[in-house]
């Protein structure tokens, strides 16, 4: 900005992880994402849903946070890998809580457990879920790929990608199922996303562009 190149300030971010941790290969099909294996196969998806429900039963009925032994988590495999997860709770078809992590910070089983509890009792939009509601809850789990920067709003595909918008120190995220459930197109989705972040839907007449795109593997309990 000043034209003086005699000095500079640099910033470095470094992440340390154990061998076998997150490697950025949690992806699904799509030309704008690297190809890689599915995180969980169908039996493992069912096990993840059982894990989340067992967590809610233990926490809401017994006031206990179950351990990996309590939840019968396998000693090896994807549940011990580090992935980011969102857990969504619905009651009679209506949202009852949704909380998760954008970036991987802990083993998959623990992220499912912790976010199931957080979605039930720490989502500020709702009153805490009670044990009496358990039978009417429907659970969804989204395992996210690492976010990728996208240069244009057109690179965000409704119904295929989740999306993160970051601007002026504010941010918000939508999972990919949100827009189709609401019947939104791309422009409407981004406008609602900006509103969620506390930003105006347009700036200078131009729709705000998403800064990041997510491609999760989402699965849910049978209706």
pLDDT of residue 5: 65
Q: For the segment 209-222, what is each residue's pLDDT rounded down to a tens digit?
A: 555 555 555 555 45
Confidence of residue 26 (pLDDT cuts 50, 70, 90): very low
More confident of the two residues 9 and 67: 67
Q: Is the pLDDT of residue 22 over 70?
A: no
More confident of the two residues 54 and 170: 54
Asked if 174 contacts 212 with a C-beta cutoff of 8 angstroms, the reply is: no
Give which of 125, 56, 54 is closest to 95, Cα–Cα: 125
Superfamily of domain 42-145, CATH level 4: Hypothetical protein ph0010; domain 1 (3.30.700.20)
pLDDT of residue 202: 54
- Across the range 158-185, mean pLDDT stands at 85
More confident of the two residues 155 and 21: 155
CA atoms of 165 and 190, how far apart (whole Å):
8
User: Could you give the count of Cα atoms lying within 13 Å of 222 in the half-sphere of its Cβ?
Assistant: 2
Q: Is the pLDDT of residue 53 over 70?
A: yes
CA atoms of 214 and 150, how far apart (whole Å):
10
Q: Is the pLDDT of residue 27 over 90?
A: no
The distance of Cα 199 from the centroid of its chain, to the nearest Å, equals 21
pLDDT of residue 11: 74
User: How does 171-187 read in b/e, with b if 16+ C-beta sit within 10 Å?
Assistant: bbbbbbbbbeeeebebe
Average pLDDT, the chain: 79
Give which of 53, 49, 199 is closest to 117, Cα–Cα: 53
Confidence of residue 187 (pLDDT cuts 50, 70, 90): confident
Fold of 148-214: Dna Ligase; domain 1 (3.30.1490)
- Across the range 138-155, mean pLDDT stands at 83
- Across the range 123-132, mean pLDDT stands at 95
Give the residue extent of every domain in the chain: 42-145, 148-214
pLDDT of residue 1: 57
CA atoms of 80 and 62, how far apart (whole Å):
26
Q: Is the pLDDT of residue 178 over 50?
A: yes
CA atoms of 119 and 100, how far apart (whole Å):
8
Q: Is the pLDDT of residue 94 over 70?
A: yes
| DSSP code of residue 152 | S
CA atoms of 46 and 222, how far apart (whole Å):
10
pLDDT of residue 104: 87
**82 — alpha (psi -120 to 50), left (phi > 0) or beta?**
beta
Report the C-alpha dihedral over residues 113, 115, 119, 124, rounded to 10 degrees.
Answer: 140
């Amino acid at each position: 900005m000043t034209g003086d190149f005699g000095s500079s300030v640099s910033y470095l971010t470094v992440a340390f992880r154990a061998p076998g941790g997150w490697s950025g290969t949690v992806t699904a099909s799509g030309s704008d994402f690297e190809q890689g294996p599915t995180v969980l196969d169908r039996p493992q998806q069912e096990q993840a849903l059982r894990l989340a429900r067992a967590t809610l039963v233990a926490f809401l009925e017994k006031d206990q946070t179950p351990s990996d032994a309590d939840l019968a988590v396998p000693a090896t495999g994807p549940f011990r890998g580090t992935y980011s997860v969102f857990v969504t709770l619905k009651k009679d078809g209506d949202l009852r809580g949704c909380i998760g992590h954008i970036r991987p910070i802990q083993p998959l089983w623990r992220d499912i457990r912790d976010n199931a509890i957080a979605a039930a009792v720490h989502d500020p939009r709702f009153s805490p879920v009670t044990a009496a509601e358990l039978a009417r809850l429907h659970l969804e789990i989204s395992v996210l790929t690492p976010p990728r920067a996208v240069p244009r709003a057109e690179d965000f595909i409704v119904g295929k990608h989740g999306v993160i918008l970051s601007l002026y120190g504010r941010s918000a995220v939508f999972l990919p199922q949100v827009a189709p459930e609401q019947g939104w197109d791309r422009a409407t989705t981004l406008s609602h996303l900006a509103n969620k972040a506390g930003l105006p839907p347009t700036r200078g007449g131009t729709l705000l562009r998403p800064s990041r795109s997510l491609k999760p593997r989402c699965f849910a309990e049978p209706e």
